[in-house]
Chain A
Amino acid sequence: MARYAMVIDLDRCTGCRACMEACKVENNTPTATFWMYVFRFEEGEYPNTHIWFMPRPCMHCDNAPCVKVCPVGARYKREDGLVATDWDRCIGCRYCEVACPYGVNFFNWKEPSKNYYLDWRDKDLSPITNGAVPPYRNPDLEKPYGKERRRTAGGGRLKGVIEKCTFCVHRVEKGLQPACVANCPLFALHFGDLDDPNSTVSQLLRRKPSFRLLEELGTRPRVYYVGGHPPDTEARQIEEVKARV
């Protein structure tokens, strides 16, 4: 069984946020939902300032606080290390969200079909959409995945359930890279099997010093950062996203 992990090279990231875009398109996440988010930081005092960027997917922790607190087992850890959300079972109590130290969970505050950037049911828009199928009807996202055969892929599922980054489980099971990794123009994001010594992630982690976010909490994240440092009190976020629904 593979042991999946993501390695993010902060030296390479230019903060273009192509990964955020790719994630939204691939997983059809509703408005104001950012499974992948790129922090843009500024440090120091003018004129000696330094700007750096930090992508933040779900950490897919080995000791995940969200998995521990879920009262119905809708949030669970797969054998290959992915932390999955079974939206067929979620009751929408948002305990995982308040337990998560990384703030990666997103709730469906309203009917997802009413929460996309484009209302596909709008009659005035029908000449433009011209009967096209909304992109959130991706058949791959409807299938059950994993040995447990539970429906865990994609976003914008149902009013009142929680969702988060799936590491693009529907792509990973096909042997593809997650959308954010595949679309990074600078190869700052890497995804692979830690058990395979020849995988990019294993090689990168051998070659460069790495850190994980909030490691002191004992969550044992599966997302490693190389070529930078964790955000400390000096880091000020510039043009922070405050997207509310």
Chain B
Amino acid sequence: MATRVERLPYGIGRFTLGLYLLLVVLLMVVGWGIYAYSRQFTEGLVVTGLRDIGTMGGAAWGLYIAFDIYFVGVSFAGITTAALIRLLHLKHLKPVSRMAEVLTVVSLILAAFSVLPDLGQPVRGIINLFRYARPQSPFFGTFTLVVSGYLFASLVYLYLDGRRDAAILAKEKGPLQGFYRLWAAGYRDTPAERERHDRASFWLAIAILPLLVTAHSTLGFVFGIQSGRPGWFSALQAPGFVVMAGVSGIGLLAVIAAILRQALNEREQLHEGIFKWLGMFLVVLILIYLYFMVVELLTTTYAGHHHEVRVTLALLTGGYAWLFWGVVASLLLALVSLLLPYLPEPLRVRFPAFQPGYALATGLTAFVVGVFFILQRMGPPRGALLMLSPEVLRWIPWLLAVFLVLFVLSFFPLFTTSFVASAAVSGLLVNLAAIGKRLLIVVPSQTYGTLLPYGVGTYTPTWVEYSIIGGLFALGTLLYLLFVKFFPIMEVRTAEEGGH
């Protein structure tokens, strides 16, 4: 029996001690998130950092909404790559196709879950959103197009795509045989069946592509058509959402593919060409997004209404500047690291070879500066530590940022040779940027964007919000991991199956 299980490809069903530990840790994080939610459910949303806009000086939407749109954004990856592969016959990308589809399904589930804690009456929400649905509300699109339609289409696509592999695996005896037979549902991989499947997935891919644009646009319209919120009211919001969704989705797909490449030791099947293609796609999307950002900034700062200017200045030089410039820096660093492998040979040589010393020095300095800054912010030090004036203190975060950028830069020589490393690292960077940008879309327009002269508001998330979001990430990782352990994450090669 054990030997048969061993024969399943891609480590399916093999649970090592390390994996069990990981699962336990993930379950604990999910449990902590559930505990945090139970606090919120009994106490009300007062346990979050959210408050009313206006006289209460707060933001009514915060982390939950920001991560909701982030998760929906990530779902872009899956179905786009899968559909593009099918429509444009990008055969060499086939191995990431299922990874991408699973990413879509998991992130859509997370998106649906992150709306729930935002609702003051979640039970009513589940009932009333259907019972009294109003198509006039931009939320309607979020629930029909995104959460229902998109998720359903993705599940169907994933199912159809997996049937052949399920049929192959169902021939092996093992504890999972019944599951595979259920999935295959009579499919035998005959040429006629294959042809029919091919046609079905082709039409499904054609149907999904427009859904992709409309679904992500709907989410943009949730913000983009609110004339009462400066910073939201912009025609660029919807297309911006589509592009940013692509940036975060493709980025996360590259990260997951790189991790699986290492973990499953599938260097041949997940070849460099895949990462090269994902990287190039990412480059194009990042460039479009940067262009959108410049256009938006120029419009508001050059000729914007004074309310618009107030929000924009809060981003550029005010309380949100660290986040805004952090987002810009992450996007630019990602862009540079993606393009480094394309440097011509003579230029590449001039780059200093990677030296751990550089990384260590800049990393340590950044750490020291960061700790120093936190100590300074905590108030007058009790020892002989010097206390800086507020004017000098203002520049410390920027110093910290410089060293952090240098730290990342010191790793860059590594990427001049490897498409995989550069795609994975920039994938991580763009996802951090995406989360930051989502927060910058949601929050400042509420705290700085009141049209009547209320005071400036503040929003600081509490441990409850962080815990719930952490729990959601853990849940997503858990679901993904379990899928990988129960179903082949890439197409099964029949040669492996020993003569089937």
Is there contact, CB below 8 Å, between B60 and A72? no
Contacts A72-B128, A240-B454; A97 near B44 (Cβ below 8 A): no
Is there contact, CB below 8 Å, between A243 and B121? no
- Cβ of A214 under 8 Å from chain B: yes
- Cβ of A218 under 8 Å from chain B: yes
Is there contact, CB below 8 Å, between A159 and B44? yes
Give the number of residues in A that approach B within 8 Å (Cβ atoms).
Answer: 58
Contacts A68-B136, A101-B451, A231-B453; A107 near B120 (Cβ below 8 A): yes
Chain B residues whose C-beta falls within 8 Å of the C-beta of A219 in the assembled complex:
228
Distance (whole angstroms) from the CB of B323 to the closest CB of chain A? 19
Partner of A73 from B58, B134, B452 at Cβ < 8 Å? B134
Is there contact, CB below 8 Å, between B124 and A56? no
- Cβ of B74 under 8 Å from chain A: no
Is there contact, CB below 8 Å, between A98 and B44? no
Distance (whole angstroms) from the CB of B460 to the closest CB of chain A? 12
Is there contact, CB below 8 Å, between B121 and A91? yes
Question: Complex formed: what's the CA distance from A167 to B139 in Å?
Answer: 28
- Cβ of B361 under 8 Å from chain A: no
Is there contact, CB below 8 Å, between A111 and B56? no
Q: For residue A86, which residue of chain B has the nearest CB? A: B132
- Cβ of A237 under 8 Å from chain B: yes
Contacts A71-B133, A98-B61; A242 near B227 (Cβ below 8 A): no
Chain B residues whose C-beta falls within 8 Å of the C-beta of A181 in the assembled complex:
none
Chain B residues whose C-beta falls within 8 Å of the C-beta of A241 in the assembled complex:
55
Is there contact, CB below 8 Å, between A100 and B56? no
Chain B residues whose C-beta falls within 8 Å of the C-beta of A161 in the assembled complex:
120-121
Question: Complex formed: what's the CA distance from A65 to B139 in Å?
Answer: 14
Is there contact, CB below 8 Å, between A103 and B55? yes
Report A44-80 residues with CB < 8 Å from chain B CB. 56, 65, 68-74
Report B119-155 residues with CB < 8 Å from chain A CB. 119-122, 124-125, 128-129, 131-134, 136-140, 143
Report A97-140 residues with CB < 8 Å from chain B CB. 97-111
- Cβ of B165 under 8 Å from chain A: no
Is there contact, CB below 8 Å, between A242 and B455? yes
Chain B residues whose C-beta falls within 8 Å of the C-beta of A105 in the assembled complex:
52-53, 60
Binary interface profile of A, 156-172, with partner B (CB < 8 Å = 1, else 0)?
Answer: 00111110000000000
Partner of B228 from A91, A160, A217, A231 at Cβ < 8 Å? A217
Report B433-453 residues with CB < 8 Å from chain A CB. 446, 450-453
Chain A residues whose C-beta falls within 8 Å of the C-beta of B452 in the assembled complex:
39, 56, 101-103, 213-214, 231
Contacts A93-B139, A160-B45, A217-B228; A103 near B51 (Cβ below 8 A): no
- Cβ of A32 under 8 Å from chain B: yes
Distance (whole angstroms) from the CB of A12 to the closest CB of chain B? 21
Distance (whole angstroms) from the CB of B453 to the closest CB of chain A? 5
- Cβ of A34 under 8 Å from chain B: yes
- Cβ of B226 under 8 Å from chain A: yes
Partner of B60 from A32, A94, A231 at Cβ < 8 Å? A94
Distance (whole angstroms) from the CB of B63 to the closest CB of chain A? 14
Partner of A106 from B52, B119, B121, B131 at Cβ < 8 Å? B52
- Cβ of A245 under 8 Å from chain B: yes
Question: Complex formed: what's the CA distance from A93 to B134 in Å?
Answer: 14
Q: For residue A101, which residue of chain B has the nearest CB? A: B228
Distance (whole angstroms) from the CB of B44 to the closest CB of chain A? 4
Chain A residues whose C-beta falls within 8 Å of the C-beta of B56 in the assembled complex:
32, 106, 242-245
Q: For residue B442, which residue of chain A has the nearest CB? A: A98
Report A182-215 residues with CB < 8 Å from chain B CB. 213-214
Distance (whole angstroms) from the CB of B455 to the closest CB of chain A? 5
Report B82-140 residues with CB < 8 Å from chain A CB. 118-122, 124-125, 128-129, 131-134, 136-140
Is there contact, CB below 8 Å, between B58 and A244? yes
Is there contact, CB below 8 Å, between A237 and B455? yes
Is there contact, CB below 8 Å, between A72 and B133? yes
Q: For residue A242, which residue of chain B has the nearest CB? A: B57
Q: For residue B310, which residue of chain A has the nearest CB? A: A233
Contacts A69-B139, A109-B46, A233-B306; A93 near B118 (Cβ below 8 A): yes
Question: Complex formed: what's the CA distance from A37 to B125 in Å?
Answer: 30
Partner of B120 from A39, A102, A103, A159 at Cβ < 8 Å? A159
- Cβ of A90 under 8 Å from chain B: yes
Chain A residues whose C-beta falls within 8 Å of the C-beta of B143 in the assembled complex:
71
Q: For residue B130, which residue of chain A has the nearest CB? A: A72
Is there contact, CB below 8 Å, between B453 and A91? no
Chain A residues whose C-beta falls within 8 Å of the C-beta of B136 in the assembled complex:
68
- Cβ of A22 under 8 Å from chain B: no
Is there contact, CB below 8 Å, between A65 and B228? yes
Is there contact, CB below 8 Å, between A71 and B137? yes
Distance (whole angstroms) from the CB of B380 to the closest CB of chain A? 26
- Cβ of B496 under 8 Å from chain A: no
Q: For residue A160, which residue of chain B has the nearest CB? A: B120
Contacts A69-B137, A160-B45; A99 near B229 (Cβ below 8 A): yes
Chain A residues whose C-beta falls within 8 Å of the C-beta of B51 in the assembled complex:
109, 244-245
Question: Complex formed: what's the CA distance from A214 to B451 in Å?
Answer: 8
Distance (whole angstroms) from the CB of A66 to the closest CB of chain B? 9
Is there contact, CB below 8 Å, between A107 and B60? yes
Is there contact, CB below 8 Å, between A245 and B46? yes
Chain A residues whose C-beta falls within 8 Å of the C-beta of B46 in the assembled complex:
109-110, 245
- Cβ of A145 under 8 Å from chain B: no
Is there contact, CB below 8 Å, between A98 and B446? yes
Distance (whole angstroms) from the CB of A52 to the closest CB of chain B? 12
Chain A residues whose C-beta falls within 8 Å of the C-beta of B139 in the assembled complex:
69, 71, 93, 95
**Can you give 20 A-B contacts (C-beta < 8 A)?**
A37-B54, A56-B452, A71-B140, A74-B128, A89-B132, A90-B121, A94-B60, A98-B229, A102-B54, A103-B52, A109-B45, A109-B51, A159-B44, A160-B45, A160-B119, A214-B451, A217-B451, A219-B228, A236-B453, A241-B55
